[in-house]
Structure 1
């Protein structure tokens, strides 16, 4: 496994077919979204009609990637009842969908018999896994990302993601 990992944009830019992302935490506390989460807790909600408020360069990058023929899917395994953070995340998932991602949610109780890796990950073209490591409090760990092309790990992540995706509920049908 490599700890000197290319950044996410480089890996996605080199992707030709698919990128999948599995998220398994009920709480993330990364500093780059602390202000947004605090505003959401105070009652602020993004309006789908006010794209200027929530559209970011990341969304443009996703649109460009999908225009090249790459499929981007994201699955989230969550505990129920969901945490306040998951309600926040669910409330603005429409922004990812607007950019072209496909997103599904799976209650943790329906994932009990799925072999899952020990951390969230991105899988690029079913050949490169980039793990996202977090502290127990949900902040980025250092090193924050680890990458591998090791076949056994790629297969574990591929099988885990596809099993989750098959059981998961499309975003528009998942209620928090």
Structure 2
């Protein structure tokens, strides 16, 4: 295991060749989105300009034959944060990212790692370590085959019970 900086993780997005998998398991993140969530709660429109760099990256990579899959394990009823995240997912889908929702009740018997991760080409896993306040406090890079395989298995098991974005009916509070 090696702690890495954000730019090191960004480099993995530039160099992966086939597939980037993302398993999200938190109901709340504070990655600069809280102001957006507050505006969403009041009904203020968002032009989603801030999403364009990510969507552009995904679109370019998908055009090269790469895949992006994201499984979002969520508690139901959804938190306000997850309701907001669900409401802004369409641009990601339009860019080519396959995003699915996994009600937490469906993963009770699935061995999952303790933290969210990105898995790149079955070569490297980057775990995002979050503090209680929802901010990233560390990024851990693993290349050990057993860790990579554990994460692949966990992702695929969650994916197998996931619900496509357009079929998922968010349970509201």
- Both proteins in one fold, TM over 0.5: yes
Structure 1: segments with no counterpart, 5+ residues: none
Question: Cα–Cα, structure 1 residues 109 and 45, in superposed 2: closer, same or farther, change >3 Å?
Answer: farther
TM-score for both structures, normalised by structure 2: 0.91
Structure 2: segments with no counterpart, 5+ residues: none
Deviations 1:58-103 (A, max 9, x none): 1111111111211100000011111111101000011211111001
> Cα RMSD over matched residues?
1.6
Matched, 1:76 2:72: yes
Matched, 1:115 2:116: no
Matched, 1:2 2:2: yes
Deviations 1:119-160 (A, max 9, x none): 00000001100111110121121xx21101011111110000
- Determine the C-alpha separation between the residues in 2 that align with 1:74 and 1:66: 14
Alignment of 1:47-126 (within 5 A): 53=49, 55-126=51-122
Q: Check the 8 A contact 1:54/1:95 in 2, yes or no.
A: no
Partner in structure 2 of residue 44 of structure 1:
44
Offset, 1:7 = 2.8
Partner in structure 1 of residue 147 of structure 2:
153
SS at match of 1:73: strand
In the comparison of the two structures, how many residue pairs are matched? Answer: 169
